Amino acid sequence: MSAQFVIFGLLAVTSVATALAMIFSRNAVHGVLFMVGNFAAVALLYVLLGSPFLAAVQILVYAGAIMVLFLFVVMLMGPEPAPLWEHIPGQRPLALLFGLLLAAGLIAAVNVEELTGVPGIMSQEVLERLGQPTALAQTLFERYLLPFEVTSLLLLIGMIGAVVLAKREKHELQAERAPREGGAE
């Protein structure tokens, strides 16, 4: 029965290692790939926690859609585009120090023996009988109907935003093409 511990240990080490590699990677493409590794490791942890559905969503949405979008933009802009903020002297050591302190504080806070809140509505038997995705869907469409509708609005707004902010109009495209073609000649 210690197999679970071994798997957990492996996945934990993988996720921490990929996370560290991501924040220290010089090349943004490598960073994206480390992130995909991290998402995969965490997805497997979800399986270990008995949520295969969330694991699948994690792979599809995060590793599949979001990281591909990141990769696309990185490819468009080159690996190391101009920084948005000016360099603050001593930023690196201060950031590392703050990170360590935060980790220590948070670990101290969450390292609890057990969670003693009120037991939830879903007992382990109910969960297993319904099959996990079914139970999730039932909760989603009954109790969480309003948040679900808000999400649809959120995605619509995200779409409108992306189009308004990034789409080029016809005349802009023409204006952009004209000098380049002129230059090539």
Site for other proteins, residues 84 to 103, rule: CB under 8 A: 84-87, 91-92, 94-96, 98-100, 102-103
Q: Which residues contact 14 (CB under 8 A, 6 or more apart)?
A: 37, 38, 41
d(CA 93, CA 39): 27
Does position 170 interact with other proteins (CB under 8 A)? The reply is no
Q: Which of residues 143-162 bind other proteins (CB under 8 A)?
A: 143-147, 150-151, 153-155, 157-162
Nearer to other proteins, 61 or 174 (CB): 61
Short-list 98, 115, 114, 94, CA closest to 106: 98
- Residue 71: how many CB atoms within 10 A of its CB? 17
Nearer to other proteins, 99 or 129 (CB): 99
Residue 7 contacts residue 45 (beta carbons within 8 Å): no
Q: Which of residues 53-72 bind other proteins (CB under 8 A)?
A: 54, 57-58, 61-62, 65-66, 69-70
First to last CA, the chain: 72
Nearer to other proteins, 129 or 159 (CB): 159
Shortest Å, Cβ 174 to other proteins: 14
